[in-house]
Chain A
Amino acid sequence: MSEFKIEKVDMSKDPSLERYSRQMRFGGVMEKGQRKLLDSRVTLCGCGALGTVIANSLVRAGVGFVRVVDRDFIESHNLQRQVLFDEADIAANLPKAEAAARKLRVINSGVTVEAIVTDINRTNIVELAKDVDIILDGTDNFEIRYLINDVCVKFDKPWVYGGSIGSHGQTMTIIPGQTPCLRCVFEAAPAPGEAGTCETAGVLAPIVSIIASFQVAECIKILTGQPETINRELIYVDVWENITRRIKIAPLLGKVDCPCCKHKKFEWLEGEQGSQTTSLCGRNAVQVAHRVAAKLNFDELASHLKLMGGDVSYNRFLLKFTVEEYEFTVFPDGRAIIKGTSDLDKARVLYAKYIGH
């Protein structure tokens, strides 16, 4: 039996840019564009289906700093489309942002990946957004998208919307002042239960990859300093019904009476704080969050819960326990996702009973 010695190649010490040679050979990027990518900073909001595809491409493309923000943990039904996760991540009870960052650092040690496990809201969005060049949308809800839209319009930052469900998806690129913003195109979020969710309507991996890939292409154009090449239409694709649509939205800029980009009213960012208790659409689960982040001691909480008859396991990222017919996932900042109910009041009562106020 022959013996192979595998040596670890430290690409971060390789100044030659060889790993990006095929991308640099492309006329739209070249060495100049590649160097810009390496100097660029991106915040990715949400690291689920769209987010894992986006993060994978950004890190392979050599975007110098990628901040991955996600509030959730990994479940087996994510693996069908969330390309950075595997069974070992589930066994290790890793939050999505942390699991993604670990994979991404192995893919490309020459760029910086920052994992942030948090619920994006109006109290932290500015901090997450202010030191980056662009924001990419990997979220699954309009509440956060309108918040991203507010921050980007207010601070004059580009962002790329993407959404997918079933076999179809949409994407558009927002450069404040130059294109319509999200609220110009979609004046309000779909009412709960109206538009379907990935849990109720399902979702195919191919449409996720297509939409996420459009988002990354737009990102590369902007980061390499070529905003004139962006797509200025709303792209709509359905991979099952064989529909590709490019909807002209540019004339909406200035034509609609947009509270955000026309009147500079940032209702999601500056308005009354939204509910701290959120029903996770279609999942029979509720998220309970604190206004001010707490700092939980999992050792103490675990022993307390065991006394109350709960089945508890934890690592430094999250604590899981099952009691009655409910499954709790608790994060160090005090946030909890409670599975087994979609009733907000019931969830608050359960939280108070087992975790405290």
Chain B
Amino acid sequence: MPIKVQIPQAMRQHADGQANVDLAGANIKELLDNLGAKHPNIVARIFENGQVRRFVNIYLNDEDVRYLDNLQTATKDGDVVAIIPAVAGG
């Protein structure tokens, strides 16, 4: 069972319009690298100088990876990883 990565609406144009991409990876970094290998244009939307951009958060099963092990947080089959940018409108 792969890991499901949820792509936010604002980034889907860089992932062939997909809302979810099934991927493999032992940790968040590997998973996102694999996402970037499939969809190279999305990398610059998520990362800046090798770090996750400051208005983009990565959630593993509804937990913020910043209080887990950040990009080194281990992932396993069946996990759901959500990429969620800040929402500005109002």
Contacts and interface: CB of A to CB of B under 8 A. Distances in A.
Interface of A: 46, 48-51, 137-142, 162-170, 185-191, 194-198, 201, 203, 236, 241, 245-249, 251-252, 255-256, 281
A196 B10 CA distance: 7
Given A187-B55, A191-B55, A252-B64, A203 B89 contact: yes
Interface residues of B, number: 22
Closest CB pairs A-B (n = 9): A188-B54, A163-B87, A165-B89, A187-B54, A251-B67, A140-B90, A198-B89, A186-B86, A190-B55
Interface in B40-76: 45, 53-55, 57, 59, 62-64, 66-67
Contact of A164 (B9, B53, B55, B87): B87
Contacts of A195: 10, 55, 85-88
A102 to B, nearest CB: 22
A191 B54 CA distance: 10
Contacts of B24: none
Contacts, number: 102
A189 B9 contact: no
A56 to B, nearest CB: 15
B55 A247 contact: no
B86 A140 contact: no
Contacts of B37: none
A164 B90 contact: yes
Interface of B: 9-10, 19, 45, 53-55, 57, 59, 62-64, 66-67, 82, 84-90
Contacts of A198: 89
Given A140-B89, A163-B89, A251-B63, 20 more contacts: A46-B90, A51-B90, A140-B90, A141-B90, A164-B87, A165-B87, A167-B9, A186-B57, A186-B86, A187-B54, A188-B54, A195-B10, A196-B10, A198-B89, A201-B10, A245-B59, A251-B67, A252-B64, A255-B67, A281-B88
